[in-house]
Homo-oligomer: A and B are copies of this chain.
């Protein structure tokens, strides 16, 4: 036992030390003591693409933090048409605190690691520290902004503009300074075509055709159907045709 441990009898748990959720996610609002409590009831899961996140099943009484990978939130009509209503990245929080659970699936898009914990525990921690609720509130505001931005795309843009908007979204996400520098950007499309279609409210075929058109117009460069190179990000942005 080190002296340090005697002086501070509460230190950040090992599992949390290099965790992104503690640096940029909601766990940043918690004290060392609270992290210890939380870590005792925590389970890590690894998910392959298409697997659903434990926390998303109504049966489960868990919430989760994404540690790695991408998770899609989607809704379905009774006859099977599907719409992706959100994409979440590390270190996002997954779950719907306070009451009503809207019908929604949460599935891994890439390989995903999550950190799950009981719902009741989060609610206890919220009661203790307002800063935790503040972090949750800020995430929900970000998600709301993204959802509304995407409603404009779903409701009012052509297929060509939708696909360009999607690629522009990925490009700027992969490289946050891309929209400033305006030269070449390269990234990987983490979704398969059917996910892109469900995200854009299109069919697989239309998505494929539009990507082909972008490639023929030299706006993008495709190598292996996933790896995209954008020589001039401003040309892509112009095709996305979004308001000022």
Output the nearest chain B residue to A136 by Cβ-Cβ distance: B137
Least CB distance from A148 to B in Å reads 4
A227 contacts B by Cβ under 8 Å: no
Q: Determine if A85 and B137 form an interchain contact, defined as CB atoms under 8 angstroms apart.
A: no
Output the nearest chain B residue to A134 by Cβ-Cβ distance: B133
Chain A interface size, under 10 / 10 to 19 / 20 to 34 / 35 or more? 35 or more
Output the nearest chain B residue to A151 by Cβ-Cβ distance: B85
A23 contacts B by Cβ under 8 Å: no
For A140, list chain B residues within 8 Å (CB).
137, 140-141, 144
A12 contacts B by Cβ under 8 Å: no
Q: Determine if A103 and B243 form an interchain contact, defined as CB atoms under 8 angstroms apart.
A: yes
Q: Determine if B155 and A154 form an interchain contact, defined as CB atoms under 8 angstroms apart.
A: yes
Q: Determine if B244 and A156 form an interchain contact, defined as CB atoms under 8 angstroms apart.
A: no
Binding site for B on A (CB under 8 A): 73, 75-79, 81-83, 85-86, 96-98, 100, 102-104, 130, 133-134, 136-138, 140-141, 143-145, 147-152, 154-157, 200-201, 241-244
